[in-house]
Structure 1
C-alpha cells in the first residue's frame, strides 16, 4: 500500500512539473511565433531589401548558437535558496515580455533593431533554462512523455499566433503584442509561485556531488563545471555516443527544416500551385505532428528511444521518397503527413537521450544548450545544402535530397544504439 501511494505521488509530481514546464515553453514560444509573423512587416516599413530583413530575422538563431549553451552551463553552476533555474526565469521572462511589448512602439530603424536584438538575447538566454527544469525534476524513464507534452504545447503556439493576428493585428497592431507578453507574465508568475527548483532531484544530486568532491578534496567547491570542460569530455570520451547524438540532431534538423522551408517554392515549381496554395501544404502535417507526439513517447518507453528514433527517421525517409515518386498536391500532403508522424519519433526522444547520457546532474542545462546548437545549426545548413543540390538537379528531386540527409541521420542513430548495447553488455559482464 505504501509503495502504491509513493508511486501515485511520483506520478502526480511528474504531471505537475510537466504542466509548469509546458506552460513556460508555451509562453515563450507564443512570443517567438508572433515575432516571426509580425516583425518582418515592421522591418519592411524601414527596409526594402528582403535579404536584409531575412538577415535581421536570422539573428536570433545565430545568437542562440552561442547564448544557449552558455546560459545552460551558467544555470548548471548556480546555487541559491531558489535553486538554479527559477532565479533566472523570474528575471528574464518579465524582461523579455517588456521588450516584446516595446517592439511595435519603436519608430526608428535603429531603436527597432535594438529592441529586436535585446529581445532575442533575453529569450535565447531563458530558453535552455526553462527546458532544463524538466530533467531536473523528472526521472529518466518518464522524460519522453513529458517532453512530448512540451512539444505539443510548443506546436500549439502557432495557432495562438495565428488567432492573435486574425483578431487584433488589423485594427490594433500594437495591442496585439500585449497578448503574448501577458501570457508570458502569467506563466512566470505561476512558475515562481508553484515551482521550487531547489527541491528537484537533479539539483539535490548536484549538491551531493559538490559535497562529495569537497569531502575527497578532488576539487574546490567554488570551481564550476566549465563549459570547455564539458566540451572536452564530450569530444575526447572514448564512447562517442553523446557526440554522435548531437551530429544526428544536426543532420536530422537539416532534413526537417529543408522539408519545411523549401516546400513553398517546391509546390510552385513542381506542383504548379500558387504561393498561397503551396504555403498550405504543410498545414495538415502540423496537425499530424501534434497527434503523433505522445504516442511516440509511449512507444519509446516500450521499445527503446533509439529504436523509435531510427524507425521514425525511416518513416520520414519513406515519406520523402513517396513524394518524389508521386508528384501531385494530394500525394505531397500525404508524404508530408507521413514524414511528420515519423519525425515525432526523433524530435520527442533525441533531447531525452542526450539528457540521459549526460555524465552528471550538474550539466543538464549545458546539454540542453548543446542540443540547440545541433538543431539550429542543422536548420541553417540543411536548407542551404539541399538548395544547392536543387540548383544542380532541379526542384523535382528536392524531397529525394532531403531523404538522403535523413538516411545519414538513421545511420548515426543506429550507430549510437549499437554503442549503447555494447556498453550495457560490458557492464553486465562485469
Structure 2
C-alpha cells in the first residue's frame, strides 16, 4: 500500500473513532433536549422558564469548556491529551443521565440532577471534536467534520425513535438506552485511541519545546485561555471574533428549534408527547443526506459562501413552516431547515480551526467554539420562549427565523472581510 493510501486509511479510521465519540455524547444530549422540557412542564407553565432551565447546561459550558479545552491542550500523558478526559467523564455522565427520570417527581431534585449531569458532561464535550484537527489536515477537515456531524444526526434519529417507541409507556427504559450507548462507545475508544501519536500532539510538543528555549520561561511555553482570548480580541483581523458571534446567533436559533419543538408540537399541533418528540425523525434523515455534500461544496466553492446559502435555506424553511402549520408542514419545514443548517454545522468550526495560529491551541479553539454554541444554546431557548409567551406557540418557527437571520448578516460581513484579506484560503 502506498504512503498516501496508508495516510488516507488512517484518516478514515480516526474520523470514524471521533464520530463514535461524538455519537456517544450526543446520544444523551439530544434525548435530554427532547424530553426534559415535558418533564419540566409538569411543574412549570412558563415557556421562558422552561427554556431558561434547558439552557442551564449551556451556561455551565460557557465557564467549563474553554478551561477544559485549554487544559487538554496542556496535558501530556502516554495516553495523549484528549483521551484521559473522555474515559474519566463519559461513564459518570451516563450514570447521572439514567437518574434523571427517577428525579422527575420533585422539581428541586430534577434540577439538581440536571445540573450534575450538565456539569460532568460539559467537562468532556469539546474534547472529542478537538481530535479532528489533531489528526486531519486542514484541506480535509470539512469532510471529517461532516462525518462527525452525521454521527450526531444519527443520535437525533435515535432520540426520535425512542420518543415514538418508548417514552409514552416506558420512560425509564428510554433514558437507559442512550446511557448504554455512551458506555459502549467509550469502551471502544479506550481500547483503540492513543492520541499522543497524532500529528498535532507531536507538533505541540515540538512548539512548546522551542518556545521554552526561546523564552527561557517554562510556564509561558503553553498559551493559556486568557492569552488566546486576548489575541482574538486585539487582532486587527476581526474574522475570528465575528465568526464566534455568528456561531452564538445561529446556535440560538438551532437550539430553540430543537429543545422547544416537542412542546410546540403539543401546544400548536395538538400532538401527544411521543408524537411531538417524533417530529424531528425525518429531519435527522435530511441532515444525514445533506451533511457530506455540504462539506464537498464548501471545499469547492468556499466554506463561507456555502454556509450563507444554507443559513438562508434554514430561515426560509422556518417561515414556510409557520405558514403551513400542521404536522406534515412542520416535518417538511424541519427537514428543509436541517438540510440548510448542515452547511453551518459542518463548516463553521472548520473555519475556526483553520484560523487557529498554532496546533497548541486546537483544544482551546474547540472550547471557544463550544462556548459560543453553548451561549446560543442558553440564550436561544429562553429568548424564543419569551417571544412565545408574547406571540403564542403558533408563531414559534417565525421567531426562530428572526434570530437566524441575524447570524446570516454576520457571516456576510465575514465574507466581505475575507475577500479583502491577502490570505483567504480558510473560507
TM-score (norm 2): 0.85
Structure 2's unaligned 5+ residue stretches are none
Q: Is residue 10 of structure 1 aligned with residue 10 of structure 2? A: no
| Alpha-carbon distance in structure 2 between the residues aligned to 1:278 and 1:208 | 52
Deviation at 1:62, TM superposition (A): 1.9
Q: What is the alpha-carbon distance in structure 1 between the residues aligned to residue 152 and residue 178 of structure 2? A: 13
In structure 2, the CA distance between the partners of 1:174 and 1:13, relative to structure 1 (3 Å rule), is same
Residue 315 in structure 1 maps to residue 313 in structure 2: yes
The 2-side partners of 1:185 and 1:392 are apart by 42
Residue 129 of structure 2 is aligned to residue 134 of structure 1: no
SS at match of 2:79: coil
Tell me the CA shift for residue 380 of structure 1.
Answer: 3.2
Q: How does 1:410-421 map to 2 (within 5 A)?
A: 410-421=408-419
For 1:54-93, list aligned pairs within 5 A. 56-93=53-90
Structure 1 residue 31, shift from structure 2 partner? 2.5
CA distance in 2, matches of 1:323, 1:119: 33
For 2:94, which of 92, 97, 103 is the aligned residue? 97
1:67–1:125 CA contact under 8 A, matched in 2: yes
Pairing partner for 1:274 from 270, 274, 277: 270
Matched, 1:229 2:227: yes
Q: Does 1:409 align with 2:407?
A: yes
Q: In structure 2, do the counterparts of structure 1 residues 190 and 384 end up closer, same or farther at CA, with 3 Å as the change threshold?
A: closer
Asked if 1 retains the 8 angstrom alpha-carbon contact of 2:310 and 2:339, the reply is: yes
Q: CA deviation at 1:220?
A: 2.2
Give, in angstroms, the shift of residue 224 of structure 1: 3.6
Q: 1:211 to 1:154 in 2, by over 3 A?
A: same
- Report the Cα distance in structure 1 between the residues aligned to 2:371 and 2:36, rounded to whole angstroms: 24
Cα distance in 2 for residues equivalent to 1:168 and 1:333:
21
Rounded Cα–Cα distance in structure 2 between residues aligned with 1:103 and 1:378 = 24
Distance in 1 between the 2:38 and 2:221 partners?
Answer: 47
Question: For the Cα contact (< 8 Å) 2:34–2:258, is it kept in 1?
Answer: no
Rounded Cα–Cα distance in structure 1 between residues aligned with 2:289 and 2:424: 39
Q: Secondary structure at the match of 1:275?
A: coil
User: Aligned residues, how many?
Assistant: 420
Q: Is the 8 A contact 1:317 1:407 kept in 2?
A: yes
For the 8 Å contact 2:89–2:121, the answer to whether it is kept is yes
Q: CA deviation digits over 1:401-427, x for unaligned, max 9?
A: 544433332222122223223323599
Match of 2:142 in 1: 144
Query: Which of the residues 299, 302, 305 maps onto 1:301?
Result: 299
Distance in 2, matches of 1:14 and 1:376, equals 28
Kindly provide the CA deviation profile for residues 214-246 of structure 1, in whole angstroms up to 9, marking residues without a partner as x.
Answer: 221264256542211111111111100111101
For residues 82-124 of structure 1, what are the alpha-carbon distances to aligned partners after superposition, in whole Å with 9 as ceiling and x for unaligned?
A: 2111111121122223333455666995766554433221111
Tell me by how many angstroms 1:283 deviates: 4.1
Determine helix, strand or coil for the equivalent of 2:61: helix
CA RMSD of aligned residues (A): 3.5
Equivalent in the alignment of 1:49: 44
TM-score normalised over the length of structure 1: 0.84
Alignment of 1:151-170 (within 5 A): 151-164=149-162
- Report the equivalent of 2:184: 186
Instruction: Tell me, yes or no, if the aligned pair for 2:28 and 2:179 is still in contact at 8 Å.
Output: yes
Describe the SS at the equivalent of 1:245.
Answer: helix
By how many angstroms is 1:324 displaced? 5.5
Shift of 1:295: 0.9
* Stretch of structure 1 that moved more, 319-328 or 358-367: 319-328
The whole-number CA distance in structure 2 between the counterparts of 1:420 and 1:155 is: 30
Structure 1 position 211, deviation (Å): 1.2
Give the C-alpha shift of residue 180 in structure 1.
Answer: 2.9
- Whole-Å separation in 1 of the counterparts to 2:383 and 2:230: 29
CA distance in 2, matches of 1:387, 1:118: 24
SS at match of 1:349: helix
Q: Against the structure 1 CA distance between its residues 369 and 185, is the aligned structure 2 distance closer, same or farther, given a 3 Å change threshold? A: same
CA–CA distance in structure 2, aligned partners of residues 124 and 154 of structure 1:
16
CA distance 1:387–1:9, change in 2 (3 Å)? same
Which protein has greater RCO, CA pairs closer than 8 Å, 6+ apart?
A: 2
User: Contact (CA 8 Å) 1:210, 1:221: kept in 2 or not?
Assistant: no
Contact residue 247 and residue 374 of structure 1 kept, 8 A = yes
> Is the contact made by 1:211 and 1:221 (CA closer than 8 Å) also made in structure 2?
no
Q: Quote the offset at 1:299 in angstroms.
A: 0.8
Distance in 1 (alpha carbons) for counterparts of 2:313 and 2:368: 26
Name the CA distance, whole Å, in 1 between partners of 2:283 and 2:70.
Answer: 35
Residue of structure 2 equivalent to 1:337: 335
Q: Any gaps of 5 or more consecutive residues in structure 1?
A: none
Helix, strand or coil at the partner of 2:421 = helix
